[in-house]
Amino acid sequence: MTTSTDRLTFGVLGTAGIARKAVVPAIAASDHAVGAVASRDGERAKRFAEAHGIPRSHGSYEALLEDDGLDAVYIPLPNGLHAEWATRAADAGLHVLCEKPLAGDAAEAQTVTDHCADRGVTLMEGFMYRYHPRTERVLELAERALDDVRTVTSTFRFPLYDRPNDVRLDPDLAGGSLMDVGCYPVSLVRTVLGEPDRAYAHTHDTRDAGVDTELAGVLEYGDGRSARVACGFDTQLVQRYRVDATNGWIEVERAFDAPTDEPVELTYEIGGRRGVETFEPVDQYRLQVEHFADRVDDGARPLTDGAEAVANMRVIDALYESADGSGSVAVE
């Protein structure tokens, strides 16, 4: 592992689409760099490296972790592999930026978080939307301008058609719509309202795949506040949320996977005044990478650190438990 954290050199564990389309370009556009990529298929890793100008490729994940020219790893592997390789990267002394969700359940997420802390490496979960200026503005308005936020409604759905072998449909790899995209609405609700007391959910498996392809859930708070979350693979793309308070509301479309080349907006009506705020195009993945690198450098807690990952998974665990037929379930 190199010693300077002024400029991080990343290794990428896997050649997933999110790495190819978003995160590797984001690292390249920052002051940091990708030094190596690994795949269990050496030729695939080589092709990926050539396509992205990455100096080294490895035919196994183990080989990448032994690469002395790296400071950190980015993990875009299937969900069910996140915990194992985050742990092994920490053992190699590498800082860890891991795609969401960090682990298969809250207990496993806590184990990974504790392990990374014991090894003295920075751990961050890749919820990129948290780093967009629009999200920051929503949270500012919710805290300073809205009186008594009572409910949040959030949805993330997209069509996963004609892909029966997609890893997101594999129960052995922690697939399912809640794990893949529903974790975003859960994160957003928690960020605005805090930790819920109870959860209720209904799921359906339209593909007979052994995972949820549709989920609708309610999160309950002891003081009467509530939230509704929904996700799925069976309908057209929608990603939105609405925050409702006694004196107004905020609405956001294209809420989570915001485009990097187009302006985005939020709309609101607060105290009888309606408004629209526009945000110039930004690469929220680059902002995420830069936040991670800054936290490696200064040793402070990342915004989406391991503790945040554990808290999000507690809610996801409760939603799944409820959907299994347990009715309203306590979030523990």
Q: Which residues pair with 227 in a beta bridge?
A: 152, 219
Cis peptide before 101 (omega within 30 of 0): yes
pTM of the predicted protein model: 0.96
For 130-285+314-330, CATH number?
A: 3.30.360.10
Instruction: Give residue-wise pLDDT tens across range 73-104.
Output: 999 999 999 999 999 999 999 999 999 999 99
Q: Which of 37, 34, 72, 35 is nearest to 57 (CA)?
A: 37
Residues 6+ apart with CB under 8 A from 50: none
* Average pLDDT of span 19-33: 98
User: Which 3 state secondary structure label does DSSP give 226?
Assistant: strand
Q: What is the mean pLDDT of the chain?
A: 97
Q: How confident is the model at residue 325 (pLDDT cuts 50, 70, 90)?
A: very high
Instruction: Give residue-wise pLDDT tens across range 268-296.
Output: 999 999 999 999 999 999 999 999 999 99
CA distance linking residue 256 with residue 188, whole number of Å = 9
Instruction: Give residue-wise pLDDT tens across range 221-246.
Output: 999 999 999 999 999 999 999 999 99
Please determine, for residue 163, whether its predicted confidence score (pLDDT) is greater than 90: no
> What residues does CATH 3.30.360.10 cover in the chain?
130-285+314-330
> What residues does CATH 3.40.50.720 cover in the chain?
9-126
Show the tokens assigned to 10: 């990343």
Q: Give the CATH number of domain 9-126; options: 3.40.50.720, 3.40.50.261, 3.40.50.10490, 3.20.20.140.
A: 3.40.50.720
